[in-house]
Structure 1
Amino acid sequence: MTRILLFVLSFFIAFSALALNLQQAKDQGLVGEANTGLIAPITARPSNDVRRLVAEVNKRRTNTFKKISVSHGLTVKEVGHIAHKKAIEKTESGNYYQDPSGKWVKK
């Protein structure tokens, strides 16, 4: 379990190049941490920039989840749930995340 958490933490560090844009989108309430371990738009009609950011971040996260799942004998869904828990811990005050039922919560 410790190794999985280390992989998940390294996964978040790996996205440091996107962190500024992602964090700006989070700070503006445009995206949040979905309960799948991916990010999702908060608004019903996100801009094209937000859609592109979500697609890019989620593509990288999904690839990372796949690698972790293979190396640790877990499903991609299980890895996503572990990542979601870590993402909630790292979510800054005022930013959004989904609870297990899918409801958006402002931290």
Structure 2
Amino acid sequence: MKRRLTYLAILLFCTSAFAIDLQQAKAQGLVGEANNGYLAALAPSPSAEVRQLIQTVNSERKESYQRIAVSNGLTLTEVSRLAYKKAIEKTESGHFYQSPSGLWVKK
């Protein structure tokens, strides 16, 4: 039993060690800042790992946007638009963001 638990712990550690993070995904051109204030895949068929990353980041962002909206008397859409503008400012050179018209731009 102890050996199984050790094996399981090693397996879980290895899986998380290989998981891609947001900055790596941006640097590799896999994701970018979409014009709606959320993260989006650049490829039409992203890997499961990239899809999971996008889902996690966007879920966290939505929760944060909702808190900001409620505390400031704004709508979720208004907050996400403001976040989009901030995201463009913070986007590093070589990373992608989506223009207001929907085109992907490399900064």
Moved over 6 A (4+): none
Spell out, residue by residue over 1:45-79, the C-alpha distance to the aligned partner (whole angstroms, 9 max, x if none).
10000000000000000000011111111110110
RMSD: 1.0
- Supply the AA of the counterpart residue of 1:35: N
Q: TM-score w.r.t. structure 2 length?
A: 0.80
Output the amino acid matched with 1:63.
Answer: E
Matched to 1:81, the amino acid is R
Which consecutive residues of structure 1, in runs of 5 or more, have no partner in the other structure?
Answer: 1-19
Unaligned runs of 5+ in 2: 1-19
> Taking every aligned residue pair, what percent have the same amino acid on both sides?
58
Q: Distance in 1 between matches of 2:78 and 2:104?
A: 21
TM-score, normalising length: structure 1: 0.80
Computing the radius of gyration from Cα coordinates, the structure with the larger value is 2
Residue 103 (structure 1) aligns with: 103
Shift of 1:102: 1.2
Residue of structure 1 in register with 2:56 after alignment: 56
The CA deviation at 1:101 is: 1.2
